[in-house]
Structure 1
Amino acid sequence: MSMDIDIGISKDQRQVIADGLSRLLADTYTLYLKTHNYHWNVTGPQFNTLHTMFEQQYTELATAVDEIAERIRALGFPAPGSYKQFAGLTRIEEEDGVPSATDMIKALAKDQEAVVRTAREVFPAADEANDEPTADLLTQRMQIHEKTAWMLRAMLG
């Protein structure tokens, strides 16, 4: 037996927000996978620093994907959860080879900023619907990704 959702946000508004959060989830998961790949494959004089930093970043992203997916579910919609779904929704480009450590840093900084843009695109729908829990989640995600992008850029000098 299923119950209707009555949280003060219309089904249409919840759908628009959930669709935006699905794109954010796909970006976050794809960035998680890319960061984990870099963690495994980084080499060079900055190995230890980058290996450790990438682990901190993918661990944070792993927590984030769960929070985003749970918010989509709370809004009453299924969360995407397959590579195929994520590939169709993400703006993050997958990595085919093993780039240099410097190119890894550049790619991750660019991708962190892309995730910020995705979160920012969802914000107006959440704001219009007075969906404070989603707005709070988006604000937190933007803050974390902006800070991470800054730290990555700082490593480039």
Structure 2
Amino acid sequence: MGSSKKQAKMVAIDIGISQDNREKIVKGLSRLLADSYTLYLMTHNFHWNVTGPQFNSLHNMFMGQYTEQWNALDVIAERIRALGFPAPGTYKQFVELASIKEVEGVPKANEMIQLLVNAHEAVARTARSIFDVVDAANDQPTADVLTQRLDIHEKTAWMLRSLLE
């Protein structure tokens, strides 16, 4: 009755974006997903471990931020899937793709804030770096995702920077 191995059936994708451009976009979105996941994990870690006089306000702020970031992960991964590629989903892949490095130990509250500023700015740079190929491919849905992420990361970085002034 045939082989016991099931072969994945490739269904042609014809959405008006070439295979080559979809692949280039997905490479960028995969880096964005890795940066976003690393930022999510960092923010959640800091939520759990923040101490000091700013505990309550930072604990609550970080919770709002990691919740927003968690929801964004799905948006980015599902855009990768819509373009016809598997989304990265392991820590190993995220470490290889991310521009943000994991934080060792438990920093003091102000250092947490600075690390988060740096990480939000890194995610913004990664999102912005994808626009050229997205624009060239006439990929408005991905451009919309990038614009939304840029708005959130730049605003969050500004709010966090304000805590350090």
Range of TM-score over shorter length: over 0.9
Aligned to 1:70: 78
The alignment's TM-score, normalised by the length of structure 1, stands at 0.99
CA distance in 1, matches of 2:139, 2:154: 22
Match of 1:59 in 2: 67
The 3-state SS of whatever aligns with 1:130 is: coil
Tell me the distance in 1 between the aligned counterparts of 2:154 and 2:52: 26
Give the corresponding residue for 1:21: 29
Larger Rg: 2
- Structure 2: runs of 5+ lacking an equivalent: 1-8
Structure 1 residue runs of 4+, over 3 Å off? none
Q: Residue 3 of structure 1: CA displacement?
A: 1.7
- Tell me which residue corresponds to 1:3: 11
Identity of aligned residues (%): 66
Aligned residue for 1:91, secondary structure, equals coil
Aligned AA (1:104): M
SS in 2 for 1:21: helix
- Paired position in structure 1 for 2:114: 106
Amino acid at match of 2:67: T
Q: Distance in 2 between matches of 1:110 and 1:33?
A: 14
Aligned residues: 157
What code does the residue aligned with 1:114 have? A
RMSD: 0.6
Give the Cα–Cα distance (whole angstroms) in 2 for the partners of residues 86 and 2 of structure 1: 26
In the alignment, residue 91 of structure 1 is paired with which amino acid?
S
Query: How far is 1:90 from its partner?
Result: 0.1
Whether 2:151 is the aligned partner of 1:143: answer yes
